Amino acid sequence: MTLESPPLHALLLDGQGGATSLTPAQLDAWQPEQGLLWLHLDYTDSASRQWLEQQSKLPELAIESLLAENTRPRAALLGEHLLLALRGVNTNPGADPEDMVSIRLCISSNCIISTRKRRLLSVIKLVEQLHAGQGPCTSADLIVQLNEGLVERMGLTVEALDDELSELELNLLTDADSEMRHSVRNLRRQCISLRRYYSPQRDAFNQLQGERLDWLSTDHRLALREISDRLLRHIEDLDMLRERAAMAQEELASQQSEQLNQRMYVLSIISAIFLPLGFLTGLLGINVGGIPGADNDNAFLMFLASLSLMVGGLFWLFRRWRWL
């Protein structure tokens, strides 16, 4: 089991919740009788790819699954190996939560080989628990605890989206602007994206429960069922958040339409007032003979007084009709 470059993690589980890191020489000399081995690789590393393809002695389908660039969450049994493709929320700094991080696993009773491209905090936490002596003892324990970590972080992401949407709804009636419309639209997009990945993940959990594996006990299957139920609740919460975001978008659109109608109404009132005034000033401004008051020095003041009375009459009429 010689690797030209060191793996991300090479851990030998002691069966008591702890693990020791193996050196390249110890990894090369590892035998199944020594205990459960967890080898975590970066599939973009050329040395890791070469080792998987030429020296791992895994089935070809398992190698393709571990090296696949794009994966969909699934669980499949291949002989004595269990193939798992899972996704976790991207909680790396500066990343979008809906940009899910994938991890691929090929699991047997005495060896676990996993690959990833970007780091997954659930895996890092699992490694820390192993070094602290509080990690999994068997392959089945590792599957359960890894999935628990993935679903737990999914739940934290859903809660963060819920808090963000609640704050937006609170400010909706007092501070509706283009920035808020962008925030609601972005939140709804995140809900849709996460929902698209969470559903196949739950299908993978259900497939995993149905696989016939001697090392996957009834207790482990019950634990996976509980994890699947928690994930279903997160999916339902996402559906609710998506509906709330859609309602918030509708409210924002309604407010925008109401503001536009109000402005158009004001412009219509102004036009209704100045339309007769413009007509009269235009009529009296034509350059032809016979214009009334052309020879009267007080005609202009009388005309202004008439316009003022007309404006006052229009205001009174509009108020009576309750237009103002």
Question: Once rounded to an integer, what is the mean pLDDT over residues 133-152?
Answer: 88
Binned at pLDDT 50, 70 and 90, residue 233 comes out as very high
Residue 13: in which H helix or E strand, if any?
strand 9-13
Q: Quick check: 139 pLDDT over 80?
A: yes
For the chain, domains (ranges, CATH) are 9-255 (3.30.460.20), 262-320 (1.20.58)
Sheet holding 81-88, edge to edge: 19-21, 9-13, 36-42, 111-116, 101-107, 81-88, 74-78
Round to whole Å and give the CA distance between 2 and 25: 8
Segment 146-191, tens digit of pLDDT: 988 888 888 888 888 888 888 888 877 666 666 777 888 888 888 8
Contact 117, 43 (CB under 8 A): yes
Contact 280, 307 (CB under 8 A): yes
- Dump pLDDT digits (tens) for 53-99: 887 788 888 888 888 877 888 888 887 888 888 888 876 655 566 66
User: pTM for the whole thing?
Assistant: 0.74
Written as six digits, the tokens of 43 are: 């599939």
What distance in Å separates the CA atoms of residue 141 and residue 51, rounded to the nearest whole number? 27
- Is pLDDT at 1 greater than 70 in this prediction? no
108 by DSSP, 3-state: which?
A: coil
Residue 242 one-letter amino acid = R
Stronger pLDDT, 188 or 323, i.e. the higher one? 188
For 99-114, how does the pLDDT look when each residue is reduced to its tens digit (9 = 90+)? Answer: 678 889 998 888 889 9
